[in-house]
Structure 1
């Protein structure tokens, strides 16, 4: 329930009386004697109502109304008027004011108008939230591609975690898309308009690691010419992505832990503390706690980084995504290289689904580009070593169904025509493999 009110009036007695009335009724009230001060404190999507006197020195209530409408035309503004200002206030309502109250007004009149305005504001903000959620789902569906249950779960987890101010640890094999997931955590959260800074911990020589992470002052060490801002400081307000975090030297782990605890850092060669506000998203292949038990990683830092964890499944565990990913990468390569791309045939799909993809999505993207260039394809491998022929046939059948449903966005008639299946047989196979048409429907 919304209960926030911003009150702007240059008369201290009015501010005091209205605050007392509203506070006793459970409202949170912010008081301002000048309209300019109110505007400076007005947040985006303010969850409440603005009350303003009409006649004030400097900026008037009508000028405040115009400025507020430019920022948020749906924010209710209730004007407080003297007797002589009533015609002016009526005109202001035609221009977008929610209501006006003629002084002196009773607490009951004020509360009645406020509650109606807050009900309207609540509907507007809920509608915005639903639209934003729909936009986010559409964007993340087109970024983290896949129809598998694992990818559906991952997308939901990313959307949920993106909005939270917590550090995230991403576990996944080489080439599984860890940086892309880290980027989504940044892009779909409140830090999206701030820097996203990526650092591969395995690619930096140990003797340069501290300067790279913390920056340095001029002359801090031999060759340090001029001041340099480090990755931690550059990511202030945004997200720092530390890939292959298990490769970070132990000495730097201690210093990173201190930054996370205190939200402060010092450049090399400086004694001045610099305040930083950042979120750490780290990625690793091994389990950091196993690394800690082996003495290769600090246990306290592992817990700091692992507030929330995302596991990226390898491509061999989500084979139903292969067809969609291949077509995406092939189309992107064709557009970039100015080539045409042939549709994915049944024999080629069989080879794709049979390959083990040790390099995961990165290997598949490379393969798709080679196909567009006409440079051949890898030898197929067994779907799952040790499985019976019947089990492999079942797995392959499920992949074919998912691939066809994905291509046709859940259009059952098109799938039946492509696979040349009777409807009853198709329904039985869908039920046996735990598939539903709704999983593959395209966005409207």
Structure 2
């Protein structure tokens, strides 16, 4: 399988040949062109993952190549090859849509690293476009979004279990999407036509628990003016989702266990058992096995529920999905708030290594704040104060120091790098990362 499909444009045939050989050995599919116009005419943007083009070429230059692809394929990454005198131009071009730039003579491994990031961005863009087009669709990929191996495996397990009438225990931290998993097990299985009844075990008062779950007869207690069907019986032919089951009092766990084992309920005020045809899916953010060993959860109920266990991965274990999810949530927020959808949203700086303790729910909230313009530069969802985390404060200081050095050097990246004690390549990468403008730079 190809690492990515690359178009390499440079008017020097030797460089094209060397790039084809090295990138080919590295696993990329490469088409090289010494004539930029021929590349634009012969290559279909939908068939490629990235364009690498020299900036200075006779006739059609790299900036014109960038402008062309920005017009016909805005999501296609374009990487610019620059000489020493073109760095300011390339940095400004990045602000206008270029994916990255690399100075000649370049290190081959550095180019491969840039192309890996570019092809990943292209892949995410395609997946995002597919998901937006399929909004409201019925594919499981539209419900449980993600390209991380853990999410691919989770979707596969759900589809395998959906039509098997076995009870399932879903484990996962708060905000990971346990109810989404439960609904997918219901909707993609044979019980999809029945009711999906979600019960928050932490929200039902103990005094009315039996009535809510099992129902009651008329006159069963003061105020019971008529017969009432309980939630378990109401879900006939469908699915009962027991959310936050770890919070259910021990005194009630025995009653729920009996209903699960016998597949029957006995409404309050009656002596008759009624059969229930339901599938039980329970969800917990706690380790129920450990809870049962500690005496805080009934072991027999745990073993009855845990015939099959599904683990929903936390967001910090699927970081490759963060950008994709952030864009989806931001686009959805723009629609709900009736605001313009910019098409592509950038995660606020400093959040690439966030722990995401609130998981997908935290990321969704951040996307909504971003769309509403409430996220300020350098501030994330867990700043812990107006100054932000240490990493955020260091990033802001570094960006300000680089801006000051560039102004003092009148835009000369060589002089600024010397003032800062950095290699020019390192400085150029930081300028691009922080989106800084080099004084005197312009894009044709």
Shorter-chain TM-score bucket reads 0.5 to 0.7
1:317 and 1:209 map into 2 onto residues whose CA distance is 37
CA deviation after TM superposition for structure 1 residue 370, in Å: 1.4
CA deviation after TM superposition for structure 1 residue 353, in Å: 2.1
CA deviation after TM superposition for structure 1 residue 213, in Å: 0.9
Contact 1:237 1:277 in 2 (8 A): yes
Alignment of 1:212 onto 2:212: yes
Alignment of 1:361 onto 2:353: no
Quick check: 200-209 or 216-225, which moved more?
A: 216-225
1:354 and 1:260 map into 2 onto residues whose CA distance is 42
TM-score in terms of structure 2 length: 0.53
Deviations 1:116-151 (A, max 9, x none): xxxxxxxxxxxxxxxxxxxxx970011100011111
Alignment of 1:379 onto 2:380: yes
Change in 2 beyond 3 A, CA 1:345/1:275: closer
Quick check: 206-215 or 218-227, which moved more?
A: 218-227
Give the equivalent residue in structure 1 for 2:388. Answer: none
Contact 1:323 1:349 in 2 (8 A): no
1:310 and 1:139 map into 2 onto residues whose CA distance is 19
Give the equivalent residue in structure 2 for 1:108. Answer: none
Deviations 1:155-191 (A, max 9, x none): 1011111111100000001111000100000000000
SS at match of 2:350: helix
Q: What is the Cα-based RMSD across aligned positions, in Å?
A: 2.0
Alignment of 1:300 onto 2:300: yes
Change in 2 beyond 3 A, CA 1:294/1:375: same
Residue pairs, 1:416-431, within 5 angstroms: none
CA deviation after TM superposition for structure 1 residue 354, in Å: 2.8
Give the equivalent residue in structure 2 for 1:117. Answer: none
Deviations 1:272-298 (A, max 9, x none): 111111110000011112111121111
Change in 2 beyond 3 A, CA 1:313/1:225: same
Contact 2:266 2:272 in 1 (8 A): yes
Contact 1:356 1:381 in 2 (8 A): no
Higher RCO (C-alpha 8 Å, min separation 6): 2
Give the equivalent residue in structure 1 for 2:278. Answer: 278
CA deviation after TM superposition for structure 1 residue 251, in Å: 2.2
Deviations 1:387-409 (A, max 9, x none): xx9xxxxxxxxxxxxxxxxxxxx
Contact 1:340 1:372 in 2 (8 A): no
2:370 and 2:292 map into 1 onto residues whose CA distance is 43
SS at match of 2:212: helix
Give the equivalent residue in structure 2 for 1:18. Answer: none
SS at match of 2:341: coil
1:232 and 1:376 map into 2 onto residues whose CA distance is 44
Give the equivalent residue in structure 1 for 2:200. Answer: 200
Give the equivalent residue in structure 1 for 2:226. Answer: 226
CA deviation after TM superposition for structure 1 residue 342, in Å: 3.2
1:164 and 1:303 map into 2 onto residues whose CA distance is 18
Larger helix proportion of the pair? 1
SS at match of 1:203: coil
CA deviation after TM superposition for structure 1 residue 307, in Å: 0.7
Change in 2 beyond 3 A, CA 1:174/1:381: closer
| Structure 2: gaps spanning 5 or more residues | 1-136, 384-390, 392-444
CA deviation after TM superposition for structure 1 residue 351, in Å: 3.4
Change in 2 beyond 3 A, CA 1:343/1:353: farther
Alignment of 1:174 onto 2:189: no
1:226 and 1:262 map into 2 onto residues whose CA distance is 26
CA deviation after TM superposition for structure 1 residue 349, in Å: 5.8
2:138 and 2:156 map into 1 onto residues whose CA distance is 12
Deviations 1:44-69 (A, max 9, x none): xxxxxxxxxxxxxxxxxxxxxxxxxx
Residue pairs, 1:64-213, within 5 angstroms: 139-213=139-213
CA deviation after TM superposition for structure 1 residue 356, in Å: 2.0
2:200 and 2:364 map into 1 onto residues whose CA distance is 21
Give the equivalent residue in structure 1 for 2:324. Answer: 324
1:296 and 1:360 map into 2 onto residues whose CA distance is 26
1:148 and 1:171 map into 2 onto residues whose CA distance is 18
2:260 and 2:382 map into 1 onto residues whose CA distance is 45
1:266 and 1:243 map into 2 onto residues whose CA distance is 22
Deviations 1:207-240 (A, max 9, x none): 1211111111122122222111111111111100
Deviations 1:366-389 (A, max 9, x none): 11111111121543779xxxxxx9
Contact 1:333 1:369 in 2 (8 A): yes
Residue pairs, 1:241-320, within 5 angstroms: 241-320=241-320
1:217 and 1:138 map into 2 onto residues whose CA distance is 40
